[in-house]
Structure 1
């Protein structure tokens, strides 16, 4: 069993900049948890503190109940894969992977077996004698992963490992890494600012903002039930409309939607796939089509309200819409926020 516990960890850099503020997290045995957030949210600092590359200003980090807060990186049962690969260009693939094993004074036979085993695991059998400069970016990242796995860490740490790769390679490699993680059942903490990676790989997503947890839950819940406007806007695409609730109806220009919350200003949030468009029931619709984009599998219709507010609607038949067309809005699911918190939401229905 390999469990990671982060208890009230903070990091204040010289000069008074607080990167992480009283952050806590439990990562269960074999779980893959993703730290997701914009630049400066503190996610990479958390990961570096778990790996021992930064020292917490406060708090405690334990692995399987053992306090590792003040241990150096080489003494921790963790393996870290960096965005930059961090490979030695003057060494062969074999020697890159074997380096840490040699420091642990393993026998040559055991080193050979481990290196060959992880090369097979990451799909690079037969690449041991090649120089890292002869490899593609994706192959170099596989070597970096193999080097960490060869040490048989209890906790695998991934710091935006796909950020420097092109989209198709990134998608393929993240699927491969997730398959390996599931096969080995290795507890993993993964940092990214890419929502697609988080949604496709993680058992749980921790959305971070200003060094704190904004929301932590399963990917489907974070996407469908965001608890704050920040999470709603950061995960996926979200349409926001500022307005007021009066007598049980959300109002904004010609838009009126029944909402069972107390009167007052609110933010109305609806995702493109939950915003249905219909031909205007009156000579003048609630919105006007601004642009239509056909992606083949679906269409995206940009619409504009009278006050200039821009929204997006995902449609199955983009050819049914054209520039300047008057349309009415039919939200099939939405959330309502006030003072930074969710007041009400509905579920998507047909």
Structure 2
């Protein structure tokens, strides 16, 4: 029986796998986004990844043109297997001085899916809606979820314990359940969604989609250092540390990258939200340049390869797990 996704916005319907490739800071570039979309899942990147030198044409505009043209070409050549839509992540924090400009560029390109982080703002949602886009706002608890919907977001990304990068501390089952008590709109779940079985569990818990990031770091298309990819392949849940030191927001990072920067991952100081800075002028200690984010699900990643292989593996696992459980209820 085909998956019934008729209750979702058009941009989230008809995906090969109900999954969004989460926007990865520095790592997600057009090459990775295009590969994810061609493989049948939503590909995404942070707008702030597109950084041009002073006086140059906005790189975000160039990237969006490249993505749109390549996906259009793919769809014309593969009418029976069209690419999934793409998403752009906007950091809404007050330190992002590029936000207004980036909103205008995304509206011009009619970006179909907007993912917002670190603040829910009405004007951002209005910008997305002005060009026919939908907004998914990422949250770490039920309180923030309510605020996001009240301010006009169309859906939510529940960032639960175990997610890579900035992450919450709540169990995914608890977080999804609380949200579903009052919200029946689009809901994606983030937090170690690295296997098809985990994706099926997310769906069973009440989420519409999985939100997967860390496995895509160890791909050919990812803009990641070879050592970073190697740590992902060789690591597991015990190799992750949860810290607020590096951005002022609590998140998950690879312990070995912290050690290589000369720090003890088991004895890190904390930082508060006042230290957050996503502006062009932000300064970080040089030693932090190679502090690498990762979720707890990386034990499922066994090698570096094409992004499509991640989707293929998870699709096979998802189908097998679904059939196995379905047999219990037949």
Structure 1 length normalisation: TM-score? 0.28
Which has more strand, going by share of residues? Answer: 1
* Structure (1 or 2) with the larger CA radius of gyration: 1
Q: Which one has a larger percent helix, Structure 1 or Structure 2?
A: 2
